Amino acid sequence: MDIVYAKSFWEMDMESAADPMDAFVARVAADGFDGTEMFLPLISDPPQRVLELHEKYGLSHRIIDIVTEGDSPADHRTSFDAAFERALAYQPDLINSHTGRDIFSFADNVALYRHAAARSADAGVALVHETHRYRPTYSTIETRRYLEAVPDLLLNADLSHWMVVHESDLSDQEDNVEIALQRSRHIHARVGFEEGPQVNDPRAPEWAAHVERHIELWRRVVDHCRTNGLATLAITPEFGPHPYVPTLPYTVSPVVDVWEVNVFMKDMLRDRLAPHRR
């Protein structure tokens, strides 16, 4: 199984560049990533140009992030269909979806997940649903209920959110975590802690135990994916900008360079996890 490392443009100042997409893809390649993970609502470039830039800079992998939105489950289904169709035009290797709402009924969210699984199967494109606050997957407990109800439901393991929700390193709920890890096919590699979804700097020694705990969980995802015959697992270091990164009061200046942190995470995980493609 290949492990590839993707880079999000979440923390990049896209507005300051004359050609933002070219600048982003060029920087991703220069910093040794294998591909990109792009948030669909923020992509203005047409699909063909995005594909050409990936080829130009030798990037082999594309992940597109989509979101469902609206006031009702019906709105979320409609928005999923529209976003899913648009995402397909970028020829993604994987679509990562923020799907449903924590305030919807269990039955409504199950119906949405089943609909999404059917669309993924029909299109022949892998689809995962991100574990995230605000979504039905906001906790290990609720996520397990959905995994048991929808056998085709696969996850993007963004585990830092659960650290906050449960105010725990998750070692006190091993059964729920293990079921989720077995069904994870993508990783957002951000280190959270009991009081927040992002430590200020994973390189700092005071966070060493939290970094090790996350690596332990991510390694189990890698092992499950390999056992299940997955050809490629993508990992996206996903430390984010303000308000995820702590900032100094009044100036809102970040305490670290978040892009540098994500490059560090990529390099560290290449050393600590399995072989990679590049």
pLDDT, one tens digit per residue, over 142-156 is: 999 999 999 999 999
pTM exceeds 0.95 for this model: yes
Rounded to whole angstroms, the Cα distance separating 239 from 268 reads: 14
Mean pLDDT within 152-178:
98
Task: Give yes or no for residue 265 having a pLDDT over 60.
Answer: yes
Task: Give yes or no for residue 165 having a pLDDT over 90.
Answer: yes
Mean pLDDT within 104-110:
98
Rounded to whole angstroms, the Cα distance separating 184 from 180 reads: 6
Beta bridge partners of 5: 235
Q: Please give the pLDDT value at position 147.
A: 98
pLDDT, one tens digit per residue, over 50-66 is: 999 999 999 999 999 99
Beta bridge partners of 6: 35
Q: What torsion do the CA atoms of 194, 195, 200, 205 make, to the nearest 10 degrees?
A: -40
Classify residue 207 as exposed, middle or buried by CB count within 10 Å of its CB (0-12, 13-18, 19+): middle
**In this prediction, what percent of the chain has a pLDDT beyond 70?**
99
CA 270 from chain centre, in angstroms, equals 17
Fold for the domain defined by 2-272: TIM Barrel (3.20.20)
Q: How many residues does the chain have?
A: 278
pLDDT, one tens digit per residue, over 18-29 is: 899 999 999 999
